[in-house]
Amino acid sequence: MAKAFTGLVFLMAAGGLFSDTSFPEDTFPAAPLELKLTFLGHGTFVITWGSTVIHVDPVGQYADFAKLPKADIVLVTHEHFDHLDPDAIRAASKPGTEIVLTKSCLAKYPGGTVMNNGDTRTVKGIAIEAVPAYNLAKTFHPKGIGNGYVLTLGTRRLYIAGDSENTPEMKGLKNIDIAFLPMNLPYTMTPEMVADAALAFRPKVLYPYHFGDTKTAKLTALLSAASDIEVRIRPMK
């Protein structure tokens, strides 16, 4: 598989932004600012771009957010309990934190900036596109409710799919450098569906996430001939 980017480190208690605990982290070279991805678990992770900290679907089951760097931006993909945790959002926030969420989240977390499917918005200098996230036939995630997000971070484009299947909107994405695609049954995608989507829009680096007990080795095998897609497996069950 292609090695488009390199670098996996572990943030230890002795130092780094995440000084109170340890989580695996991938670091991508500066372009123009260094990009770090810190993997907390399931659908919960942190993007650090230069000095800007972005919490994605913060949920207290996976980290003590009172001990983590405060968010400049919080992204929430939808209202389900394993993606929306009001206490974790409050713990991750500071004065001036921008909360970006869907309309369905407002019943649990009033306030914030609502983005609907198809919306685009610039938040703290970062372009954010809301991509529809939904099941094609199943009813766990109806169309029009949840968001995925594409973030433009300097010269890179990062896609967070949220809870979705291999939809036409996902497969039609362009110029994605890093993609997070969910892979757990019965709620989101099979390895075959993830591979189908990845082969359609061809991210340089693909992280399966929110994968539960689904065998990640199956996805790696399915994409083994795709030399331009690097599959990275991180502890995101």
- DSSP codes, 70-109: PPSEEE---SSTTT--HHHHHHH--TTPEEEE-GGGTTTS
Predicted confidence at residue 185, as pLDDT, reads 84
Grouping H, G, I as helix, E, B as strand and the rest as coil, residue 46 is strand
Residue 1 pLDDT: 35
Contacts of 229 (CB under 8 A, 6+ apart): 1, 2, 198, 199, 202, 203, 204, 205, 206, 223
Q: What residues in the chain have per-residue pLDDT under 50?
A: 1-16, 18-20
Q: What is the pLDDT of residue 13?
A: 30
Residue pair 154/167 in contact (Cβ under 8 Å)? The answer is: no
Q: What is the pLDDT at residue 35?
A: 97
At residue 21, the pLDDT reads 55
pTM for the whole thing? 0.91
Q: What is the pLDDT of residues 52-61, one digit of tens each?
A: 999 999 999 9
CATH number for domain 8-231, candidates 3.60.15.10, 3.10.180.10, 3.40.640.10, 3.40.50.460: 3.60.15.10
pLDDT tens, position by position, 6-35: 344 433 332 345 444 589 999 998 889 999
Say what the pLDDT of residue 186 is. 87
Tens of pLDDT, residues 212-221: 999 999 999 9
pLDDT in the model for residue 36? 97
Residues whose CB is less than 8 angstroms from the CB of residue 218 and which lie 6 or more positions away in sequence, other chains included = 191
| The dihedral sign for the CA sequence 164, 168, 169, 170 | positive
Amino acid at 110: P
Q: Domain extents for the chain?
A: 8-231
Strands 98-101 vs 73-75: parallel, antiparallel or unpaired: parallel
DSSP 106-153: TTTS--SEE--TT-EEEETTEEEEEEEE--SSSSSS-TTTEEEEEEEE
